[in-house]
Amino acid sequence: MIALALFLVVGVAVALQLRLPLPPTIAARIAFVFLLGVGAHGAILFALAAVGVPMSLWTFLAVPLLSLVSFGVRRPRLRFPIRHLEAGSIASALFALPLLVLLFAAAVLPIRDYDGRVTWLPKARAIALERSTTGPFFHGERGLNLHNRYPLLLPLDAATTMVLSNDTRNEAARWLYVLIPIAALIVLRAMLIMWFGATGAWVAAAMPWLGVMTAIEGGALAAYSDFALAAFLGMAVLYLLASLDDPLALRAVGLFAAFAVLTKNEGAVLALAILSAAVFVRRVKSIGEWMWMLVPVAVAEGILVYWRTLVPAAYDEQYEVLVSSLPASLDRVPSAMLAILRHAVDVSEWGGFWIAVAAAIVVGAVLERSRRYAILLVTMALALAAYVVALSVTSWRVDELAAVAVNRLLVHLIVPAACMLAMALRKTEPSAGVTPHP
Amino acid sequence: MRVAILVLIAASTMIAGAKRLADTARLSYHFARLPGMETRRATLFGPWYESVQRLRRETPPDATIDFVMLRPEARDIAVLGAAELQPRDVRLFDGWTAWELRTRAELLHDARAANAAPRPPPSPARFVVVVDPTAAEPLHLQ
């Protein structure tokens, strides 16, 4: 837990230095700076390691220490005043209950998901033991390096907790993984209530109950990186919406998009989706805004591409080869779309969530038609289109791959989907036009 | 109308997630009474995990270990075992013939995917482990 406090320190420093607007409640601010710290710390370590800086104990401590020093340089400037948000006690209790169960389970249960144990945590352990992202493990000389070129932001954060707790067992990184989805939901809830009032509170209350939260594979108790990706995309979306009222919020969008790039391969697609929404819908205007959007993502892509030249592909899908085979796989596109649809409407897994989101998209098209609506729609539509392509071009049978992958891909989109839902529901209120909301 | 829709969405989501949440809470409550994470892992993961822990005790951290998988179903526990034995250098082979030829197992069955990093075939390891999920000892030293 001490190691996790380091992420808070880094997050606070980044938020202050970049003058990022913060969410409206204390809990959401803590959650937001935690996510910011997880992303910034991992991204900076990724860059340092890629250029050959030895990963000594001091390297792992360097970012938090520099963050502490930075507190003396710039005083806080809070853009959103802290507010007490009226959520209603029942909605609050329903929101909190599943999260408390998750925390209890995280304290007791071993990490048990397959991909976390064989892919992500061995990377973290290798970094903690070899103090390098290009060491023997990543050259196939010391252990089974599955998906060798997967991005390393989360493994670097996990390695930090391992090094600082002097423990390389899987559970050393447990709190990092479980706190990410919890933090994302806390920020989402605060923003939904701020924008949509009681409607937002009830939509937020439903989110921690989603079956995927407690799924063994890819759930909040797993060491997959899908919830981290969902959290980073979610923060980027929330801040892109907030940027319509406060241009400073745009600074966080590029950062979180960059973190997504460095978290999973899908992150590049999601970053592209959010950048497209920013450019074509939010209409980024000044050079400064362009820089805040594009530079972090370009740097992240640069780090990733450069690091990948240093380590061989091993047990990796070659996506550039796969995507180039799309013309030959076009006949699989309908079955890929159907597979996603089938999983989204699986009531036993998602309840009525995605069905309601689909209805919300239709309602929004009729009643909303705002830039907020378009941002959410463009982000989700581009991401889903990319996932249809990904399912179509693999050599797996579509239904087999969908069975293990689609729910995790849908997880990436839960924040924009929840916003869409709350926005549409709010729009149906008789007083919807009176209260300012995005 | 709006309230009815909200209740419907929230209720359907909660009902769908509640069973798994209750299962997680129940399992956590049960496991909280077991002493220590190691016991919990052994209870949760079963015989293969205990075999791997035995290998862990019997091999030094810098050991090279060849896993020879006797049947396709051995793959999952071989991969999980290799991760558990980190930082030992574990290499996977599909059967004895592949082991003799020093041809590593292909884990991704797609000609367009990369499997083991392109390197010379590994020299024989210091330890050889037979992986057979149907055996009483799923991973055992040869």
Domain boundaries, chain B: 2-33, 46-141
Number of A/B CB contacts below 8 angstroms equals: 185
Residue A10 buriedness (CB in 10 A; 0-12 / 13-18 / 19+): buried
Selection from A197, A186, A185, A192 nearest residue A419 by Cα: A192
pLDDT for the residue numbered A433: 47
Residue B55, min C-alpha distance to chain A (Å)? 15
pLDDT for the residue numbered A437: 43
Percent of all residues in chain B with a pLDDT value above 90, rounded to a whole number: 68
Nearest CA in chain A to B3: A199
Cβ contact, residue pair B114, A312, below 8 Å? yes
Residue extents of the structural domains in chain A: 2-77+89-317
**Using alpha carbons only, how large is chain B's radius of gyration in Å?**
21
Cβ contact, residue pair A137, B118, below 8 Å? no
User: pLDDT tens per residue, chain A (438 residues)?
Assistant: 766 789 999 999 999 999 899 999 999 999 999 999 999 999 999 999 999 999 999 999 999 999 888 887 766 555 566 777 777 889 999 999 999 999 999 999 999 999 999 999 999 999 999 999 999 999 988 989 999 999 999 999 999 999 999 999 999 999 999 999 999 999 999 999 999 999 999 999 999 999 999 888 888 999 989 999 999 999 999 999 999 999 899 999 999 999 999 999 999 999 999 999 998 887 877 888 889 999 999 999 999 999 999 999 988 887 777 777 788 888 899 999 999 999 999 998 999 999 999 999 999 999 888 999 999 999 999 999 999 998 998 878 888 889 989 999 999 999 999 999 999 998 887 665 444 444
pLDDT for the residue numbered A78: 55
Residue A63, min C-alpha distance to chain B (Å)? 27
Question: Which residues of chain B lie closer than 8 angstroms to A350, CB-CB?
Answer: 13, 16
pLDDT for the residue numbered B118: 73
pLDDT for the residue numbered A166: 93
Q: Which of B3, B14, B139 to mutate to test the interface with A (most CBs of A within 10 A)?
A: B14
Residues 6+ apart with CB under 8 A from A143: A122, A126, A137, B82, B83, B85, B86, B87, B88, B89, B90
Cβ contact, residue pair A144, B32, below 8 Å? no
Where is B67: in which H helix or E strand?
strand B64-69
pLDDT for the residue numbered A397: 86
Residue B136, min C-alpha distance to chain A (Å)? 22
Cβ contact, residue pair B114, A316, below 8 Å? yes
pLDDT for the residue numbered B37: 92
Is the Cβ–Cβ distance between A220 and A227 less than 8 Å? Answer: yes
Percent of all residues in chain B with a pLDDT value above 70, rounded to a whole number: 100
Is the Cβ–Cβ distance between A221 and A105 less than 8 Å? Answer: yes
- DSSP strand E in A64-149: where? none
Residue B83, min C-alpha distance to chain A (Å)? 5
Residue B32, min C-alpha distance to chain A (Å)? 6
Helix (H/G/I), strand (E/B), else coil: B128: strand
Nearest to B8 among A126, A352, A428 (CB): A352
Per-residue confidence band for B108, with pLDDT thresholds at 50, 70 and 90: confident
Question: Which residues of chain B lie closer than 8 angstroms to A208, CB-CB?
Answer: 17
Cβ contact, residue pair A110, B37, below 8 Å? yes
Question: Which residues of chain A lie closer than 8 angstroms to B116, CB-CB?
Answer: 140, 314-315
Selection from A354, A369, A411 nearest residue A224 by Cα: A411
pLDDT for the residue numbered B56: 95
Name the token pair of A375.
């941002």
Cβ contact, residue pair B44, A109, below 8 Å? yes
Cβ contact, residue pair B24, A101, below 8 Å? yes
